[in-house]
Every structure is written in structure tokens, then in C-alpha cells.
Amino acid sequence: MVHINEDSYVNWIEQLCLSTWESVYRLIYFKVQNREEAEDITQETYVRAIPYLQKNRVPPDKQMAFLKTVALNIIRDRWRQHQRRGTTADLEAIAPKEVASEDPAEWSVQRIAIEKALNQLSKEQRTVIELRIIKGYSVAETARIMNKKETTIRVMQHRALQALNRILHDETK
Amino acid sequence: MHDNERRLSDYIDQLNAEKKPKEHEHSAADPELQELFHTVRLVRSLREPAMPERNFPAKLVRTVTDQLVPTKPKKKKRAWMASIVGIAAVLALSLLMHIVSLFDQPNIVKAMEKAFQDVNAYHGFLEIVETNAQGKTTTQAKLEIWADKQGRYYIQELEGSNKGLITVNNGQTKWQIHHSEKQVHRFSAFPDPYRFAFELGNEIKEIKQAVSTKTIGEEKAANRPSWVVEVTPQGGEPYRIWIDKETHLPLQKQYAMHHGIQYKITYTKIEWNDAIPEKLLAYHVPKGFQEINQNPEQIVANIGEVNEIIGFLPDVINQIPAGYVQDRIAIVPDKKLVKIYYRASNKEIVIIQGKATGKWKLAPNAMVGKIHQQTAEIQSPVVEEAGVLGAGGSYAGLTDLHSIRWRQNGFEYAVIGHADLEDLVAFTKELTNGAFEMPAKEEPSSSKPKVNVPVDLEQEKNDQKSVDAGSSPWKLDPVFVAQVFVSLQMSPEGITGDYPIRYEDLRIVQNNGKEAVVEVNADNAPIKRVYLKRLIRQDATGIWTVVGYDPAS
């Protein structure tokens, strides 16, 4: 156990959070796609990772990768809990030297795949997805813009997402 | 199946509201639906993430520290408990800590807001003192102030360069009595560029919007025990404010030292009243004084009179947004404009309407909304008085004034007001039968540059600081930033003399306040579109940075 005095521990926590939070938050948001949950998981990530980082003196260049791995584990853990409660992420099982770094290049590959898949949809399907999900319009606003009934928009977005899901699955086969 | 369509739609709505969907808490039983939720998240990942509020990093540090360092306050107490005196001191300290913590954000704001709710009007004497770098102090001015919550005021300068000047705004008209010239100058009551320093309502509003507030000690101000609070505003240097311990209202304000000068403003005496005395708010021209009317407006009794004088019947709204009442109708005869005033508690909105003349052009820093495929200009705050705005009065630089301007059926309209932008949107929607659309918060994926421009965030942060201090104000204008960028691409060795492309050759095509796209319409330019972002601060004080472009070929 590394003993450091309380003030410098607090300073170290502050420095770590302030210098890394944005990347950690972005990764979490990328996965959960809503601010409320992303903020919540970001906080949990630091609360769970810091005692380990401090105890094991993880070098600064590995800290970010470790934080990201903890964040991903918390997300996976949460998803798992929804299916069968009780499993928790085992921090000791994460070897700081081998942690996976979420590579922004992978995000770009995913992005290109999604954009390509979107282009394979019909124009109407693409529009409904763009308005509802990318621009964030409500069903009522989308219905007004597309000159359709709200119920039609709900049916259209459901079908468009089914089609997109199929295309994305076919691509990865 | 019908239920799945609804659940999928609700899921999208939850994410759009940046809320955690209940399905993330309790798993959806249907595996197909789970797959579709995953697809929604994938598509959504094309958007930029919604970043947390500005105070999130501080909150994160606090939460994490609270959970991981629980022993901190106890340790301090143990040190004090060594003696009887120590115990007394601990009690005093913890009491003080308790009181002080009551006044830390957000409680300090709440306490002041609550205290101000009970105030209808106030009467005070304000002293403005200047201190130079050598510590020498000079009294700049002393004012007698009467103000109420409806924005009416009576100010008399007792000492200072305008000694004797009286400025009054009674909500209907505004006037200044110049005793030395024996003149009364009359102005339009709205918009009112005059702001007396340390108006309590504005002061509390500013603290409410501050990035942070921190109680740093106790001191007397105007002989009254007060808490000293350091306020870090959005855009600008931190300042200090003294809050009366008894009334919970601000008493004194001290700005940061700027260019070797520091100002301190103090209410040397203040009392609370039900109203400003009527005689002070009644317009009159003292005997022997000359009236100089600088108000271009003429009040009319009804819409019919407008038609007779300026030749058209203005549009009126059917449903006045909640909380507002129609106040008065005025015309500006020489400009052929009509102005319909609406008033709510402490808020005022004017609809200006006139025939569309000249070419439609957006103010460069405006956000771009839409009405029936046409652009609408949204200025928050108003920076440029374009079109009917310019003919309606002098607004630019009033930070709490917002506007929406557009053209429709041969007329130009502007909704302008000292009110939240949402209120202006409600009025605009009424006038356009719901056709008005604010810009999307996130730009669609089609708005991506073909060529990305690398950004040095540290450099941008320094540039923002320079702009905050008054340097390079052009960085606040996306068109100017785009002009400089394109010009430097054309003349990489630097620009001497005129820019190779004209400012007029550039046009804002998208601007949501955070991201903007500027189109270049010059045959010689190698760039067709410039993409900009406000990277450091996403409000009117934030600088624009070029993040990409589309080449012309």
C-alpha cells in the first residue's frame, strides 16, 4: 500500500479527474448515447478506478487506458446485470499493461460502416432516421416536416431500423 | 408489433432528451427490440456527444473526493479538540462552515433570489470608487437610485461628471433632465441602452448564470456585516460581491483590476419600498426648460390608425404567449414601421414590421433558423442592427437583448426583447403559424467537411483569453474568421493590403451557435465552404475556429 498524505491524495485525484474526464466521458457517451447515464458512469469509473490506480502506482501513461477499460467494464457489467443480476467487474483482473485502448480509428471505421448502411436505405427511411435520431426531432416535428401522420412515422422508423440492422449484420458476416 | 413501435419511439425520445432510458435499467425482454435499440445507439454515435454542464468536472472531483476521502473534515476536528479553547473554536468554526456552506452555490443564489422575490422596489445611494495600481482611491460618482422590478427607474447623479443629471424610465417613455442646459431629452422607453451599475435584479441574474461562486470570508460593507463571495462569470474575470448577512441581498461589488484600475460600487444606504413615488415617474418639463424629443415613435390607438398613417395593416398574433399582455402600438412614420409592444413581469417584447426593402442579408454572427425554407436570423444577444432592427432603435451591445428577424410575403419582421429566447420563439411561431424552426442543436452528418483542419486547443484557449481581454474581436465573427482563413490559403506568405476575397463574398449558410458553415462565392477562391466551431465557449463571447473546408474543385 502506498501511503501519501491526504492533501496530496486529494490534489492527485483532482489532477487526474481534470486531465482525463473528457476522454473518459466521450467513450462512455459513445456507448450509452445519453448524457445522464454518461455522467453517472463517468463518476463511478473514477470512484472504482482511483483506489486501484493509487494502490498499484499505475504509471501516468497507462492511467487513461486503465480508466477507459474500467468504464467499459462498468457498462458491460450494467448490461449483464440487466439480464442476470449479481456479476461485478473484477478490477484486479485488469492488467494495466494490457488494457485495451478504445481506438478513435475504430470509431471512424464504425462510422463509415453506419454511413454506408444508411445510404442503402430508401430515401424516406434515411430521412426519418436522420430527422428522428441524428437531428433529434420529435415524432410530431418529423411528421410535420415529412407531411405524414405521427403513427406512420413510428411505423417507418421501426421498419427503417429493422432494415438498417439487417444491412449492418450482413456487412459483418 | 404495435407495442414495439411505440417502445422504440419512446427509447429514441429518451436518448434525444439526453436521459437514461428505462430499458437501460430493466432489460427489454424482446431480443429483436434490444437489437434495434443497439442500432439506434449506433446511428446516434454519428452525432457529436452532448457534453455535460460546465461545472461537471468540478462536480466530478467533489463527488469522487467525497467518496474516497471521507476522513478529511474529521482530521481537522481532531486537531482542534486538543483543548477546551479548541472545542469552542471547533464549534465556532463548524457553525461558520455551516453558514458559509449555506451560501455556496447553488444556495447562495437561491437565498438571494428568495430575498429579492420579496422586494418590489428599492431606494438607495450608490457610490462608485476607483482605485489605481498605486492604491490611490477616487470617488467617481454618487447616485441616488429608485428602481422597481418592472424595470422602471429614477436616477439622479449627485456627484460626478454629470452632476445634476436625472434619468427616468417609467415604462412608457424615458427622459433625461439636463439642469445645466435647461433641457429635457425624451427617448423611446424600449429598448433602453441605459443601465445603472449594480441594478440588483441584473446582479442576481448574473450570479445565477456564473460559472462558480465561492464564499471567501466575511467583512463589513457600508457598515453592515456581510459575506464576501467570489463570482466567476461566464466570460470575464472573477469579481467579488458583498452580501448583507441580514437581508441576503448584494451590497457591494468589486471588479478585478483591469489595466491598472479597479472599481468598487457600494450601496452606502439602501431601503426597500412598495413602489417608486408616482411624482418621480410622472413625465414633466420643468418650467423654463426646453423639450427635445428624440423619440421617433408615435403612439397610435389601434391597428386601424396604423393603416391610415403608414399604408398597411400589420399582422397581429392571435394567441399572445402565456404571461404577456399587449402594452401599446407605435409607429415610426418616417421609416414606415409598426411596433407592437408586449409586456410581462420584468420582460418586454416588441414585434417590428415593415415592408421588405433591399437585399436580405443575415447578421454575420447570427444563428440561422428557418421559416418555409427561408432563413431567419437569430441574434442572442443582438450584435448588429440589420434591416427593420436598425430602423427600430439602437440595440447593439445590450447583452440581455435578443432578436429573431425574417421575411415573409413581402414584409420584414423582427421580434426583439429583454426576455428569454424561448419567449421570442413563442411569439415568432405565433406570427409564422408554427413555421419557424430553430437551428438543430447538432448539425446533420451531411455537414462534414471534406478536408479537416487540425486544431491546437491550447492555442485556442489562449486566443479566447486574449479576446476576453479585448484583443482580436474579429474572432467572434465566423464570417471574418472564414475570410482570414481562405485568404491565408490563397496567400500563405501573409496578407498585405486588401484581402484577396471580399467579406461580402462570404455568406453564413448554417449557424446553430456552436457550429457554423460559411459559403464562399468568389471565382478565384480555392475553397467553397468553411466549417467553424466554437470550441472553447459556446455563447456569444466564444471565439470561432476553422475545423474544416470543402475545396472548390
Q: State the CATH number of the domain containing residue A159.
A: 1.10.10.10
Domain's final residue, options A98, A116, A136: A98
For A169, B94, B101, B136, the CA distances from B239, given in Å and listed in that order, are 57, 27, 19, 20
Residue B492 has pLDDT above 90, yes or no: no
Separation in Å, CA of B475 to nearest CA in chain A: 25
Same domain assignment for residues A114 and A72: no
Q: Which of A103-107, A130-134, B101-105 has the highest mean pLDDT?
A: A130-134
Q: Is residue A88 part of a domain?
A: yes
Portion 485-514 of B in contact with A at CB < 8 A: none
Q: Is residue A124 part of a domain?
A: yes
Q: Taking CB atoms and an 8 Å limit, are B61 and A37 in contact across chains?
A: no
- Which residues, 6+ apart, have CB-to-CB distance to A82 below 8 Å? B24, B25, B26, B27
Record: fold of B114-273: outer membrane lipoprotein receptor (LolB), chain A (2.50.20)
Q: Taking CB atoms and an 8 Å limit, are B36 and A114 in contact across chains?
A: no
Same domain assignment for residues A93 and A23: yes
Q: Is residue A77 part of a domain?
A: yes
| CB nearest A37 (choices: B8, B12, B24) | B24
Q: B437 is written with which cell numbers?
A: 424552426
Same domain assignment for residues A66 and A139: no
**What band does B29 get if pLDDT is binned at 50, 70 and 90?**
low
* CATH number of the domain that residue A32 is part of: 1.10.1740
Portion 9-68 of B in contact with A at CB < 8 A: 9, 12-21, 24-27, 35-36, 38-47, 49-52, 56-57, 60-61, 63-65, 67-68
Same domain assignment for residues A28 and A56: yes
Query: Can you say whether the dihedral through the CA atoms of B4, B10, B16, B20 is positive or negative?
Result: negative
In this structure, which amino acid lies at residue B253? K
Which whole number is the average pLDDT over A113-136? 90
Share of chain B above pLDDT 70, in %: 86
Portion 457-476 of B in contact with A at CB < 8 A: none
**Residue range(s) occupied by CATH 3.40.1000 in chain B:** 298-437
Give the pLDDT of residue B73: 40
Share of chain B above pLDDT 90, in %: 25
Residues A40, A20: Cα–Cα separation, whole Å: 16
Q: Which chain A residue lies closest to B52 (C-alpha atoms)? A: A35
Domain B298-437 in CATH 3.40.1000: yes
As beta bridge partners, residue B271 has: B123
B470 against B210, higher pLDDT: B210
Q: Which chain B residue lies closest to A37 (C-alpha atoms)? A: B20
Count helices and strands (H / E) in chain B. 13, 26
Give the pLDDT of residue B352: 93
The overall average pLDDT reported for chain B is 81
Give the pLDDT of residue B86: 34
Q: B25 is written with which cell numbers?
A: 435499467
- Find out whether B113 and B201 touch, Cβ atoms under 8 Å: no
Q: A41 is written with which cell numbers?
A: 458512469
Domain range for A83 is 6-98
| CB nearest A155 (choices: B5, B41, B56) | B5
pLDDT tens per residue across span B238-290: 899 999 988 899 999 998 876 567 888 999 999 988 889 999 999 889 999 98
For B235, B366, B477, B480, B510, the CA distances from B507, given in Å and listed in that order, are 27, 11, 12, 10, 9
Q: Which chain A residue lies closest to B50 (C-alpha atoms)? A: A35
Same domain assignment for residues A140 and A81: no
Q: Is residue A1 part of a domain?
A: no
Which whole number is the average pLDDT over B138-155? 87
- Does the CB of B455 have a partner CB in chain A at under 8 Å? no
Query: Can you say whether the dihedral through the CA atoms of B57, B59, B60, B61 is positive or negative?
Result: positive
Residue B90 has pLDDT above 60, yes or no: no
Checking ipTM against 0.90, whether it exceeds it is no
Same domain assignment for residues A87 and A126: no
Give the pLDDT of residue B13: 93
Count of structural domains, chain A: 2
Same domain assignment for residues A31 and A65: yes
A117 against A55, higher pLDDT: A117
Q: Taking CB atoms and an 8 Å limit, are A21 and B67 in contact across chains?
A: no
**What band does B376 get if pLDDT is binned at 50, 70 and 90?**
very high
Separation in Å, CA of A1 to nearest CA in chain B: 15
**Residue range(s) occupied by CATH 2.50.20.10 in chain B:** 114-273
Same domain assignment for residues A122 and A85: no
Domain's final residue, options A70, A98, A126: A98
Same domain assignment for residues A126 and A72: no
For residue B52, the chain A residues in CB contact (below 8 A) are 25, 35, 38-39
As beta bridge partners, residue B546 has: B532
For residue A36, the chain B residues in CB contact (below 8 A) are 18-20
Which whole number is the average pLDDT over B300-321? 83
Residues B252, B240: Cα–Cα separation, whole Å: 8
- Find out whether A62 and A70 touch, Cβ atoms under 8 Å: no
Domain's final residue, options A98, A119, A147: A98
Same domain assignment for residues A31 and A66: yes
Closest CA to B179 of B91, B92, B285, B102: B285
Interface test with B, best of A17, A22, A34, A110 (most B CBs within 10 A): A34
- Tell me the whole-structure pTM to 2 decimals: 0.46
Q: Is residue A110 part of a domain?
A: yes
Same domain assignment for residues A42 and A66: yes
pLDDT tens per residue across span B176-198: 898 877 888 887 777 665 667 78
Same domain assignment for residues A84 and A115: no
